[in-house]
Amino acid sequence: MQVFKCAMKLVARRPVYFLVYGVWLSLMAVFMASSLMSPASTDEYEKYQVDYAVIDRDSSQVSEGVCEFLTTQGDRIAIEDSDFAIQDAVAKDTCSYLLIIPDGYGEAFMEAAKNAEPLPEMECIYSYYSAEGALVDAALAEYLSSLSAYAAAMPDKPVNELIELAMQASRVYADVQIIPSETDATETDKFMFYLQFDMYVYFAGIIVCVGMMLVTLNRAEVRRRNLASPISYIRYSAQTMLACLVVMMIFWALTYILGAVCFPQSFAAVPLLGKVMMAIVPFVFALIPLSVAFLMGQLHVGETLMNAVGNILGLVLSFLGGSWVPMDIMTPEVNMIAHFLPGYWYTDALSRACQLGSSDYATLAAIGCDIGIMLLFAAAVFGIALVVGRMRTQTSEAGGNAAAEVVAI
């Protein structure tokens, strides 16, 4: 097993690849899968409360009505009426909405409302962190529009009564009923989402780690020395492939065990047969990047290109496979393209396996079909790699008897 030990040592010499593509990306998949879960919905609708501030330089009945209306939008924050205090509040994001009512606003507002003229403006500042301030400003504009309409319709009515009518109108809300979405993620989906994100981990990690090992072993001087050794070519190839398979299984076992540890409740909620299939599906899928790594090794590409191929393929297949964006919201053209890529069949198999029951033979057959398609992808890429490797052994740079015969001719 000298070749196997040598191959594993080559992988161990580059621990940074395993730490980045194996450990770090797997942990990132844990965080992303956790963030995808929608929070549990409450039984009652609660209006969102916003922190706001008002600087009233008018002190009129209209400005007081504005302040009274804003109390329905959230909690008021006290801010001093000075340029420094206002700038400091904006810079520190003390409140989401800051309103400055200028002097004489109330009188100008009532006069403009009764004469059907444009209403005077107030100075408002939104928070740059969110759109909460814009929402409050839209609600305030609706209140002022109601107050203006009442003032135009009843010009002889006292201002305080007009404000009360506008406040009553602002308190009218539509009935809100929370209906659970049929697409809300369940507890079992948490583990499935994690394994879907690991599609990128498999492609980036396995291609780079296995590919760099094979590139080293396929160097002309190393290959000549190995072919001159007493070990047969069949044993040499078998031990090399065993090392590749072990590296692949390390990535597969790491991701699966990490998911089971980080999502224990989700893992426990998956039926027993589902757990088995959710272990088999990633194992079969990992054979595809293993075949790509074998092809990259036969092509003798450099380290930079190896990293580029692993990352680009991982990103493209993860996106088009529905790992990051649900296939339901993609266009029909993208869905059609996704059917020609292995990522689609991987996510489809996982989504079926997470709910698989012991007597659900139809779903089990569908998963078997997905697994068969992924095996065909792996076999196709592996076949191409064998052809490339065979052609390369006949070159003068490869070494060996086949190359020597070509040179002799």
Query: pLDDT tens-digit profile of 68-101?
Result: 988 888 888 888 888 888 888 878 878 888 889 9
Rounded distance between C-alpha atoms, residue 52 and residue 60, angstroms:
20
Tokens linked to 263: 């999502």
* List of residues 6+ apart from 2 with CB closer than 8 A: 231, 239
Rounded Cα–Cα distance for residues 275 and 268 (Å): 9
Q: Domain range for residue 158?
A: 50-170
Averaged pLDDT, 330-344 = 87
Q: What is the dihedral of CA 295, 301, 303, 304, to 10 degrees?
A: -110
Which of 43-47, 140-144, 301-305, 392-396 is most confident? Answer: 140-144
pLDDT band at 287 (very low <50, low <70, confident <90, very high): very high
In this model, does residue 158 exceed pLDDT 50?
yes
Q: Answer yes or no: do 351 and 238 share one domain.
A: yes
Q: For the whole prediction, is pTM greater than 0.75?
A: no
In a domain, 378, yes or no: yes
Structural domains counted in the chain: 2
Same domain, 151 and 295: no
Helix axes of 132-153 and 105-114: crossing angle, nearest 10 degrees:
60
Residues 127 and 272 in one domain: no
Q: 31-40, 326-335, 340-349: which range is least confident on average?
A: 31-40
Same structural domain for residues 55 and 32?
no
pLDDT at 238 (0 to 100):
84
In a domain, 176, yes or no: no
Ramachandran category for residue 116: left, alpha or beta (phi over 0 → left; psi -120 to 50 → alpha): left
Return d(Cα 73, Cα 113) in angstroms, integer. Answer: 24
Residue 180 lies in a domain: no
CA 349-351-353 angle, 5° bins: 65
376 and 270 fall within a common domain: yes
Q: Are residues 20 and 73 in the same domain?
A: no
Instruction: Please tell me whether residues 130 and 198 are part of one structural domain.
Output: no
pLDDT of residue 333: 86
Residue 251: pLDDT over 80: yes
Altogether, the residues listed in the chain come to a count of 409
